[in-house]
Amino acid sequence: MKRVIVVSASAAVIAASLAFPAQAVRTSADPAPTTQYVVLYKEGVPAAEAQKAVEAAGGSVVKVNEAVGLATVTTANAGFVSALKDSGAIEGVARDRVIGAVPKADRLAAPGARAQNSQNAAKAVEKEGRERGAVEHGRNVKDEPLADLQWDMKQIHADVAHKYEQGDPRVLVGVMDTGIDGSHPDIAPNFNRALSRNFTVDIPYDANGAVVDGPCDAEPDKSCNDPADVDEDGHGTHVASSIAAPINKLGIAGVAPKVSLVNLRVGQDSGLFFLQPTVDALTYAGDIGVDVVNMSYYIDPWLFNCADNPADSPENRLEQSTIVKATQRALNYAHRHGVTLVSAAGNQASDYTKTFVDTTSPDFASTPGEAPYSRTIPPSCTSMPSEGEHVISVSSTGISKRKAYYSDYGNGYVDVASPGGDVYDTPDNTRDISKATLSAYPKSLAVANGEIDADGNPTVNYVVKDCDGATCAYYQYLQGTSMASPRAAGVAALIVSRYGHRDRDGGKTLAPDVVEAIMKGTATKTACPNPPAYTYTRHLPTGTTVTATHTCEGTPLSNGFYGKGIVDALRAIGR
């Protein structure tokens, strides 16, 4: 999937991502430059034979995901990739994340520093409209206190569905994201701390010296190895809350307010998501009996992976091919083990079934001097995981049910639609923050970003506070397909809760293909606009007017804007 549109915090940014690259570093023990790769073994080849090939090419295996056959390898051999290219035991090679120590001088960088490089800037869709001042919201005594702000729940009839089905605690939903704030008062009751895992390590800098996640000493926990109940970005907490915030007289309710949340952290604080953590999280999810996973991102550093793009070097082609093959193996593994796979469609406002130009990749410098470049992207190129097999790809709708202006689309690409917000889905096409979606926000981030005052009250209109006695919690407005996807994942969790059967470990399970069929079959069929070429108009707070035309192809039963329709929680549980 792609990065999400963040209509909060310091700027409205898109959050999601792609695959792990590498950089030469030096250690005191070995002065030779060392590069880290992920190596995909050929299926059917014994691991010992593949490891011999790696060692013969000058590599050392650090670890292996045996379920997929993906090894993390370090090497000082500059010709490592070439040496493995024609090996009968190796399927592919991709650069992995940066390894090495943080430069001493840089430890004085400001706390909370995050990458704002050209790639991030290209993905930022709204840097304007940050009016200050808290917004007062009235309580609804019959529902959760902030239920009146949850137009998204009403759109998919989740509020009514809760009268009949709120989910089963035995149903596990894995949130593959930047982490979950497990201590958030409106998440904690449903958070499964024992099963949660962190599969990644924060990256201080890229190969060009640009800040990525920031110095380890500047982290709130003073470490680049975060515990599995922490979210230092906020994106994963918003996603988790959208799925399963409990009904507890505080804040909001999620689509499936009684299911269990498992943090499968695969994303960096900066919003980058790489290959190895994605593969490891998917296989772990299959092994522990997770029923649904949400993936609101694409795998960095390539927005699209092309096997034969003439703009790419042979090594970059091999890397992109490896990303697709390794991710698909992991998706297959999870699917075989009963995991329903849900992913955000992306925020590039592009038709994935048409050729267009991408200028954002690679969005992470794994070697010095590396920078994004322009590539023509045909439909044969693949964005992972949203275009993977067995994955339910979700586009985003606004409050009027129109496709959101930023949402990617394409007839045959989008499976279903779900509310993710559109702040310009207003009668006069001007920005209204309440047309985004509201979900949980870690208090620590609100404090760090200066979004609440000394008394704990919001100072910006995109942060909302709610208290139940002495217990207070914070929420933020965000928009993006990253917000649409977890609401669809919540519907999937309700389906498993309603129709699933007991598994051998005492949980509940339902075949992913059955879950997908029910979700699609009960979605509200939504036709293309008439005419199908729809022009979006946005009057920005800066005084600028922006227009863009997106063409919807297909029928009311299946089309490029809505897929099989807008998910419906009430119909999905048979009411």
Q: What is the pLDDT of residues 97-125, one digit of tens each?
A: 643 333 333 222 222 322 223 233 333 33
Confidence of residue 135 (pLDDT cuts 50, 70, 90): very low
- Residue 471 sits in a domain whose CATH number is 3.40.50.200
Look at 501 and 34; give whichever has higher pLDDT.
501
Same-domain check for residues 258 and 288:
yes
142 and 84 share one domain: no
* 262 and 164 part of one domain: yes
CA-CA distance, 13 to 124, in Å (whole number)? 4
Same domain, 138 and 284: yes
Same domain, 146 and 58: no
How far is 157 from 179, CA to CA, in rounded Å? Answer: 28
If asked whether residues 184 and 41 sit together in one domain, one would say no
Q: How many CB atoms lie within 10 A of CB 104?
A: 7
191 and 66 share one domain: no
Q: Of the candidates 346, 401, 393, which has an alpha carbon nearest to the alpha carbon of residue 154?
A: 401
In a domain, 72, yes or no: yes
- The answer to whether residue 4 sits within a structural domain is no
pLDDT at 97: 62
Q: Which residues are paired to 365 by β-bridges?
A: none
* Residue at 186 is within a domain: yes
- Note the pLDDT of residue 121: 30
Q: DSSP per residue over 463-512, as a string? A: EEEEEETTEEEEEEEE-SHHHHHHHHHHHHHHHHHHH-EE-TTSSEE--H
130: which 2 tokens?
Answer: 């940050």
180 three-class SS: coil
Specify the CATH number for the domain of residue 92: 3.30.70.80
Determine, yes or no, domain membership for 550.
no
Token couple for 252 = 């909001």
| d(C-alpha 282, C-alpha 73), whole Å | 20
**Are 524 and 416 within 8 A, CB to CB?**
no
**433 in a structural domain:** yes
Residue 416 has pLDDT above 80, yes or no: yes
Whether residue 68 is found in the same domain as residue 179: no
457 and 395, same domain (yes or no): yes
C-alpha to C-alpha distance for 243 and 294, rounded to whole angstroms: 9
Q: How many domains does the chain have?
A: 2
Of 89-93, 103-107, 234-238, 513-517, give the lowest mean pLDDT range: 103-107
The stretch 45-57 carries a mean pLDDT of 96
Q: Examine the pLDDT at 68 and tell me if it is beyond 70.
A: yes
Average of per-residue pLDDT across 527-544: 97
CA distance 117 to 528: 37
**Domain that residue 137 falls in:** 118-204+229-267+277-300+331-351+358-364+387-526+556-572
Banded model confidence at residue 34, pLDDT cuts 50, 70, 90 = confident
Please tell me the least confidently modeled range out of 29-38, 429-438, 520-529.
29-38
Residues written for the chain:
575
Q: What is the mean pLDDT of the chain?
A: 88
How far is the first Cα of the chain from the last one, in angstroms, to the nearest whole number?
A: 31
Domain end point (choices 45, 62, 96): 96
Which residue carries 């380890």 as its tokens? 216
Residue 416 covered by a domain: yes
The pLDDT assigned to 221 comes to 77
Q: Are residues 44 and 171 in the same domain?
A: no
Residue 323 is assigned to a structural domain of this protein = no
Is 260 found in the same domain as 194?
yes
For the segment 485-513, the average pLDDT, to the nearest whole number, is 95
pLDDT at 42: 96
Residue 85 lies in a domain: yes
Does one domain contain both 233 and 91?
no
